[in-house]
Amino acid sequence: MCMVGLLTLISFNSSAQTTTDGLMMGKNLFCTGFMYTNDKWTDYWEGELKRENGNIGSITTQSLAYYGVYGITGKLNVIAMLPYVKTEASQGTLHSMEGVQDLTLAVKYNFLRLESEKLTFRAFGVLSFSTPLTDYTPDFLPLALGAHTTNLTPRINAMVKMNQGWFVNGSAGYTFRSNTELDRPSYYDGSNFYNSSEVDMPNVFDLFVSAGYQKESLQVELNYIQQNTLGGADIRRQDMPFVSNKMNAQRVGLLAMYYLPKPKNLAVRGSVHYTVNGRNVGQATTYLAGILYTFKFGKSE
Amino acid sequence: MKKNLYIYVLCTAVFCITTTSCDKIEVTEQLTPLTPANIDADAGTWKMAFMTAPDQVAVPAPTPVGSDAYKAELTAVKDAQSKLTKSQRDAIEYWSGGGVLRWNQFFRDLVSRYNLPPAPKADGSYPAPDAENPFGDPAFPFANPPYAARAYGYVSASLYDALKAAWHFKYLYNRPSAYNADSGVEALVPKTDLPGYPSEDAVMSGVSAEMLKFLFPAAVEDITLKAAEQRNAALWSGKATSSDIAAGLALGKSVAALFVARGRTDGMGAAGGNKTLWDGLKQNAESRGDEAWVSLETPPRPPMLPVFGKVTPWQMTPDQIVAIRPPAPPIRGSAEMDAEVQEVKYYADNLTRERLAIVHKWADGAGTYSPPGHWNDIAAEYVRDANFSEVRAARAFALLNMAEQNAAIACWDTKYFYFNARPCQLDPSIKTGTGVPNFPAYVSGHSTFSAAAAGVLSYLFPDGEAYFKDQATEASMSRMYGAIHYRKDCEAGVQLGYKVSDIMINNFAKVDGAD
């Protein structure tokens, strides 16, 4: 159900020059802007049972994220992102939630580059760190803004690109999640009852694959995203979702980014993703629209 | 150099996150071995909660200490102690914290596991949980707050009576515990002078297991394993021999049978009502000029246990339940009710993080141990710290949970007598910080449960009075902050709860001979 929680982990694959792609900002270039995301689902998987629920109707999650990436060198970039999130149910009585969510900081390092006449192969190591900036509750799914965990994700990316612009890209990440804290003194997580407000959060593995075209001012790609929560219980029949549930999702998407001819250095970005299969998550359709501007500091490479 | 720095940052970050996430969160409460301040040798003379007398169930005289049969039992204990495994020692340690506390924790666990409403069928109707088919879909029971309150009430009251009967026979026969009868038997738990026959641990295992199998039949495997472990731990620890345990188990089961018989005829079976009755409730409310309650769930769910108010209470009469029923709430459209709705609307529109934390601290909805369970959780810490004997610990939970069951009965009686609407039924723009319970508003269940619990706990632990009452007020107000109750529901619920606890204290606690 918690597409919000899931999105925080992987939101970067919808951003310009992300933690999962094979692209880099050049030295002293700073690309920054805002991304608006609209994520909506009606059906969800209660464990493996797909259903809808008249007590919530559709859940819409909107977010407006600040985004920035800076090229320390052509091989080393730092990335930052911070979203403001709002969730809402179309039916039932549950209150909407909104607020600043998790700050993500990442470093991306291009450690390998092989070139032939026709092809370039590049490999990257990425380390992302994210942490909540506000004390939003994780215990109000499906309307909670996120899991309220501090995460660390080591990641490996590889990209093969032909000189004409066609490319394939792959990325795999493993997210360590801290425990999260509830406002209540005990809970049942679907397997065990705990006399504690602290919840052990299973770690998450994700895989990202894309193929497309990128040359000069245009980038277009199709992509596939898979996320597996390595532990956690299913939502029981007719139960509410719980923050440590096993939330798995497989999503496909289309992404395009274009640097406008004028004004120079201004780019627009859009994407759409659809959840084809999942477990304990909503079958979401997610639209993203962003606007980004690239500044140059000092001498670029 | 730069690379080293990155590796350092990475390792530090990985270390920080993995160490916090690897901190094991304990499933069981941490208890130190029980060393009662007083073994309450006179507990066999205390007033029974339901049994007619401590010897209503007969326990035959044990074989004498000097007999060959008893010596053989002691040899068996020593033999078992000579080859204890790690898991057997763990079981001894677990149960040494106190059987009453362990069973209380276990049934809070069971309630949270079974506190799940049935899913609707394809045609939009809801199946009723069926005691004759507990493993079906839906599972039996749906341990909602009234069901849970009654479950806590029965298990706690039966444990209390069974232990008083055990104390009676212990001092009637005066056969020592194994470790006091034979210096070769090691005491792996703190020693006391409490006579060993019948074993209090076996009594607890027998009565708790039988009651829980009646109330949570689908959990039979967990229940019987737990009970068997308690009996084994009593023997392994050097407290009890096999005949202490056999006599205790038989006594516990026989006491449970008395309480189960009461439970089968206490009105719970009819508490769900039927369509005709539900329509009658609506007409009642409308005849008072009010808007009748409707389910806000989709598809609409029948009201939760509308006849629970007729379930037999403890230490008070059904007439007393009716006598303490609060006066009618303001009706829809009255200036007073408009103001009530306005106030709830304010809290809905101004749901601060601080108030949301209070709402969620006390929500105790589906998948939790319910409000009575929350108060058992609070009580457990006080019982633990008081170093009560098992029988006095059982008394504390019995007083608390008989009052909680009465609170559920009095509250449900009131709710269905008036059958009034929730705030977001009267004003659909009111959005809530927790789920809207599927029953009428007046009076608030949380308020009634919390005040009844705070009243009893204040009597038992006078030092905690300010804390208990403060928590009860917070629990009560949490329902208004969450926009699911009017202030009137909360305030009248608190008053009703204190009336319930006063009756429990005056009719029983003050006269049972324990204080």
How many angstroms separate the CA atoms of B415 and A112, rounded? 71
Burial degree of A250 (CB within 10 A; 0-12, 13-18, 19+)? middle
Largest Cα separation within chain A, whole Å, is 63
Whether B17 has its CB under 8 Å from any CB of chain A: the answer is yes
| pLDDT value for A21 | 78
Cβ atoms of B441 and B485 within 8 Å: the answer is yes
Beta-bridge partners for A272: A254, A287
Picking from B2, B4, B23, B25 by the largest number of A CB atoms within 10 A of its own CB, the best residue to mutate is B25
Instruction: Name the more confident of B11 and B96.
Output: B96
- pLDDT of residue A3 exceeding 70, the answer is no
| pLDDT value for A24 | 83
Which residues of chain B make contact with A240, given a CB cutoff of 8 A? 366-367, 435
Which residues of chain B make contact with A188, given a CB cutoff of 8 A? 109, 112-113, 367-368
- pLDDT of residue B100 exceeding 90, the answer is yes
How many angstroms separate the CA atoms of B224 and B249, rounded? 12
Cβ atoms of A240 and A267 within 8 Å: the answer is no
- pLDDT of residue A299 exceeding 90, the answer is no
Partner residue opposite B298 with nearest CB, options A91, A192, A242: A91
How many angstroms separate the CA atoms of B82 and B80, rounded? 5
| pLDDT value for A8 | 38
Which residues of chain A make contact with B112, given a CB cutoff of 8 A? 186-188, 193
pLDDT tens, residue by residue, B127-148: 999 999 999 989 999 999 999 9
Picking from A149, A195, A204 by the largest number of B CB atoms within 10 A of its own CB, the best residue to mutate is A195
Instruction: Name the more confident of B452 and A15.
Output: B452
Cβ atoms of A114 and A121 within 8 Å: the answer is yes
Selected residues 329-348 of chain B with any CB under 8 Å from a CB in chain A? 348
Task: Tell me how close the Cα of A169 comes to any Cα of chain B, in angstroms.
Answer: 24
Q: What phi and psi, each to the nearest 5 degrees, are found at residue A279?
A: -150, 120
| pLDDT value for A20 | 74
- Helices B370-385 and B99-114 sit at what angle, rounded to 10 degrees? 160
Which residues of chain A make contact with B296, given a CB cutoff of 8 A? 92-93
| pLDDT value for B105 | 96
Which residues of chain B make contact with A242, given a CB cutoff of 8 A? 367
Strand segments, DSSP code E, in A15-118 are 29-41, 44-46, 49-51, 59-71, 76-89, 97-100, 102-115
Which residues of chain A make contact with B137, given a CB cutoff of 8 A? 237
| Nearest Cα residue in chain A from B14 | A152
Residue whose structure tokens are 């324990």: B514
Confidence category of residue A298, pLDDT binned at 50, 70, 90: confident
How many angstroms separate the CA atoms of A146 and B374, rounded? 26
Confidence category of residue B21, pLDDT binned at 50, 70, 90: very low
- Helices B370-385 and B465-481 sit at what angle, rounded to 10 degrees? 160
Confidence category of residue A23, pLDDT binned at 50, 70, 90: confident
* Closest by CA position to A134, among listed A142, A124, A143, A146: A146
How many angstroms separate the CA atoms of A78 and A83, rounded? 17
Classified as helix, coil or strand, A75 is: coil
Which of A89-93, B3-7, B252-256, B385-389 has the lowest average pLDDT?
B3-7
pLDDT tens, residue by residue, B170-184: 999 999 999 999 999
Whether pTM > 0.90 for this model: the answer is yes
Write the DSSP assignment of B159-206 as a string of letters: HHHHHHHHHHHHHHH-PPPHHHH-TTS--SS-------SS-HHHHHHH
| pLDDT value for B4 | 54
Whether B27 has its CB under 8 Å from any CB of chain A: the answer is yes
Average pLDDT over residues B144-166: 98
Burial degree of B382 (CB within 10 A; 0-12, 13-18, 19+)? middle
Confidence category of residue A138, pLDDT binned at 50, 70, 90: very high
Task: Tell me how close the Cα of A193 comes to any Cα of chain B, in angstroms.
Answer: 6
How many angstroms separate the CA atoms of A175 and A8, rounded? 11
How many angstroms separate the CA atoms of B403 and B469, rounded? 15
Burial degree of B396 (CB within 10 A; 0-12, 13-18, 19+)? buried
Which residues of chain A make contact with B226, given a CB cutoff of 8 A? none
Task: Tell me how close the Cα of B157 comes to any Cα of chain A, in angstroms.
Answer: 24
Peptide bond into A142 cis (omega under 30): yes
| pLDDT value for A22 | 73
Residues constituting chain B: 515
Q: Report CB contact under 8 Å: B20, A178.
A: yes
Residues constituting chain A: 301
Confidence category of residue B23, pLDDT binned at 50, 70, 90: low
Instruction: Please give the interface size between A and B, counted as residue pairs whose CB atoms are below 8 Å apart.
Output: 135
Average pLDDT over residues A232-255: 96
Partner residue opposite B119 with nearest CB, options A95, A150, A237: A237
Residues 6+ apart with CB under 8 A from B94: B28, B102, B229, B233
How many angstroms separate the CA atoms of A290 and A270, rounded? 6
How many angstroms separate the CA atoms of A288 and A64, rounded? 10
- What stretch of H or E contains A208? strand A203-215
Write the DSSP assignment of B395-435 as a string of letters: HHHHHHHHHHHHHHHHHHHHHHHH-BPPHHHH-TT--BSSP
Average pLDDT over residues A212-220: 93
Q: Report CB contact under 8 Å: B13, A127.
A: yes
| Nearest Cα residue in chain A from B137 | A237
Please state, as a whole number, how many other Cβ atoms lie within 10 Å of the Cβ of residue A298: 6
Tell me the H-state helices in A77-188. none
Q: Report CB contact under 8 Å: A240, B348.
A: no
| pLDDT value for A14 | 37
Task: Tell me how close the Cα of B101 comes to any Cα of chain A, in angstroms.
Answer: 13
Mean pLDDT for all residues in chain B: 95
How many angstroms separate the CA atoms of B413 and B417, rounded? 6
| pLDDT value for A84 | 97
| pLDDT value for A2 | 31
Picking from B4, B17, B109, B436 by the largest number of A CB atoms within 10 A of its own CB, the best residue to mutate is B17
Average pLDDT over residues A85-96: 97
Which residues of chain A make contact with B436, given a CB cutoff of 8 A? 93
Selected residues 33-92 of chain B with any CB under 8 Å from a CB in chain A? none
Peptide bond into B138 cis (omega under 30): yes
Q: Report CB contact under 8 Å: B116, A203.
A: no
Partner residue opposite B360 with nearest CB, options A137, A177, A196: A137
Q: Report CB contact under 8 Å: B13, A152.
A: yes
Average pLDDT over residues B56-73: 97
Average pLDDT over residues A157-168: 95
Confidence category of residue B15, pLDDT binned at 50, 70, 90: very low
- pLDDT of residue B349 exceeding 50, the answer is yes
Which residues of chain A make contact with B298, given a CB cutoff of 8 A? 53-55, 91-92
- pLDDT of residue A16 exceeding 70, the answer is no
How many angstroms separate the CA atoms of B450 and B120, rounded? 31
Which residues of chain B make contact with A203, given a CB cutoff of 8 A? 21
Q: Report CB contact under 8 Å: A195, B118.
A: no
How many angstroms separate the CA atoms of B87 and B411, rounded? 45
Average pLDDT over residues B327-341: 97
How many angstroms separate the CA atoms of B74 and B235, rounded? 10
Please state, as a whole number, how many other Cβ atoms lie within 10 Å of the Cβ of residue A272: 15
Task: Tell me how close the Cα of B181 comes to any Cα of chain A, in angstroms.
Answer: 39
Partner residue opposite A152 with nearest CB, options B17, B105, B117: B17
Average pLDDT over residues B112-119: 96
- pLDDT of residue A151 exceeding 70, the answer is yes
Q: Report CB contact under 8 Å: A195, B353.
A: no
Selected residues 403-432 of chain B with any CB under 8 Å from a CB in chain A? 424, 430-432
Residues 6+ apart with CB under 8 A from B128: B118, B138, B272
Whether B366 has its CB under 8 Å from any CB of chain A: the answer is yes
Burial degree of B224 (CB within 10 A; 0-12, 13-18, 19+)? middle
Partner residue opposite B431 with nearest CB, options A53, A94, A238: A94
pLDDT tens, residue by residue, A24-53: 888 999 999 999 999 999 999 999 999 999
